Amino acid sequence: MGIVSRLKQLIIYIISVILRPIMRLYYRRRIIIYYSMIVLIAFAIIFAVVTYLLPIYWIVVTSVKALPDINTITPKFLFKISFENYQKLLPEGNLPFVAYLFIGEVFFGLILFAICSFAAKFLPRRFSLRNIGTVWNVLFILTCLYGFFSTQPNPRLRVDVRFHYFTLIVCCIVSYLLVIPWKKKTNSVFQNFNGSTFQDKKEKMAFVIPVIFAAIGVSVSFANGGSKYFYQLLNSIIIGGGSTVLAVSLGTISAYAFSRFKIPGKDDLLFFILSTRMLPPVVVVIPIYLMYRTLQLQDTHFGLILLYTTFNVSFAVWLMKGFIDEIPREYEDAALVDGYTRFQTFLKVVLPQSVTGIAATAVFCLITAWNEFAFALVLTEVGGIAVTTPPSITSATGTAGLEWGKIAASTFIFLLPVAIFTFLMRSHLLRGVTFGAVKK
């Protein structure tokens, strides 16, 4: 037995000596392949980022170039900064004072939001987020009232500018009361691992409301001053914002029904809802145009809002259903036992925990409606009532052909509202895209 065991050890040793270089080469190849994949992925990411940033770089640089620098054959990297392209978009004559107030509230509101987000723990109680946000919303309402009484309506506009200011006041008050209730809650049931309450997070939204509506106020004041571009930008804000609110509201209610109730043919209905996004807009734009012309919805705000809501609600239903599915049903059962109705349970239990999903869904729906081009081009008329910004940017022609400086300036301003809205919703967006609403 000793000789047999020694022979086995000898054979194993010989095999190991023979296979050792082969195994080393195999592991080296695995390491080489592993690092090669990392390098390829890194190059792909760098290429994607550069490809995405180059057009933005061209837009920003071209928007601040003068016309002689734009028309040169050789590219000029050293040029004198000029804002004449942005001045072409502004109304002629002196700007109203209320426009400067709105611009100041946008910039200072962003600065206050950033400061209070990082230094909220060091602020005294009298300077809490709730108190500062309340003061900032009151200042915005006073600015709208000043614009309501001091601004004269432009006869070229189809809607009186005072109606827009009144609408901003109503939307600001309603949004503030929805985000931060009038009666402050001393205790909150939902707490995260840091111990900060959900109500504290909602109080940061008090700065978001006046910043968003002040940006809309800038467009309103410039459009009333006679700016054609800002009138079209105001149409994009009305249509994109209205369709986003409707799509998110209907999508949240529908997603709650699909998530909590036993509906016959639920899977078939969900697939049917998703199938509305399978066709590209170019395929259905002609039938929709004929239908809208018959119903007299062509070149109207309501028609575009209804159409964008129809295409966005399917995405909102599917996205919100993933969030609501992750909310434990035990919370709703406890609320029903305490005497709450199903509707009260939905408002006080489900909605507060699905704010992350609502914010993420709103961002994606707004981006889709904001950048839509095909329907806006076909269903609106040149110089019409409801023409939006994307079709107007492509038609920016002058005596010398395409005005690249004006196109770049209008495109950069067109990017700002969505960029600001996404920046303000960034804390909810990161968790929203990963479907991380609530963990059981």
**According to the model, what pLDDT value does residue 198 have?**
45
Instruction: State the Cα–Cα distance between residues 16 and 219, nearest whole angstrom.
Output: 78
Question: Is 150 found in the same domain as 30?
Answer: no
> Which residues form the domain of 194?
84-433
Let me know: does 283 contact 374? Beta carbons within 8 Å.
no
Question: Is 97 found in the same domain as 53?
Answer: no
- Which stretches does DSSP call E strand in 173-325? none
Question: Is 347 found in the same domain as 300?
Answer: yes
The count of residues in the chain is 440
Structural domain includes residue 169: yes
**According to the model, what pLDDT value does residue 195 have?**
42
Please give the distance of CA 237 from its chain centroid, rounded to a whole number. Answer: 12
Q: Phi-psi bin for 153: left (phi > 0), alpha (psi -120 to 50), beta?
A: beta
Tokens of 329: 């049903």
Structural domain includes residue 72: no
**According to the model, what pLDDT value does residue 262 have?**
84
Question: Is 211 found in the same domain as 88?
Answer: yes
The DSSP element (H or E) to which 204 belongs, if any, is none
Question: Is 42 found in the same domain as 89?
Answer: no
**According to the model, what pLDDT value does residue 276 have?**
77
Kindly report each contact of residues 18-27 with a partner whose C-beta sits within 8 Å and lies 24 or more positions away, as own/partner: none
Residues of the chain with pLDDT under 70: 1-4, 6-30, 73-77, 117, 119-129, 156, 181-203, 396-401, 427-440
Nearest CA among 192, 180, 188, 179 for reference residue 438: 192
**DSSP notation for 94-110:** PPPHHHHHHHHHHHHHH
Question: Is 385 found in the same domain as 263?
Answer: yes
Structural domain includes residue 71: no
Instruction: State the Cα–Cα distance between residues 437 and 190, nearest whole angstrom.
Output: 12
**According to the model, what pLDDT value does residue 151 have?**
83
Structural domain includes residue 218: yes
Question: Is 204 found in the same domain as 252?
Answer: yes
Question: Is 166 found in the same domain as 107?
Answer: yes
Question: Is 53 found in the same domain as 186?
Answer: no
The total of structural domains in the chain comes to 2
Question: Is 240 found in the same domain as 122?
Answer: yes
- Residue that is written with structure tokens 């709650």 in the block: 256
**According to the model, what pLDDT value does residue 196 have?**
45
Tell me whether strands 401-402 and 397-398 are parallel, antiparallel or unpaired: antiparallel
191: three-class secondary structure by DSSP: strand
Nearest CA among 57, 55, 101, 106 for reference residue 424: 106
**According to the model, what pLDDT value does residue 84 have?**
86
**According to the model, what pLDDT value does residue 377 have?**
87
Let me know: does 180 contact 203? Beta carbons within 8 Å.
yes
Structural domain includes residue 69: no
**According to the model, what pLDDT value does residue 273 have?**
82
Structural domain includes residue 245: yes
Regarding pTM above 0.85, the answer is no
Taken in order 91, 96, 97, 101, the sign of the CA dihedral is negative
Question: Is 126 found in the same domain as 213?
Answer: yes
**According to the model, what pLDDT value does residue 77 have?**
66
Let me know: does 424 contact 113? Beta carbons within 8 Å.
yes
Q: How far is CA 343 from CA 88, 253, 348, 353, in A?
A: 51, 11, 9, 15
**According to the model, what pLDDT value does residue 431 have?**
57
Q: Which residues pair with 398 in a beta bridge?
A: 401
CATH number for 265: 1.10.3720.10
> Helices (H) and strands (E) in the chain — how many of each?
20, 2
Question: Is 163 found in the same domain as 54?
Answer: no
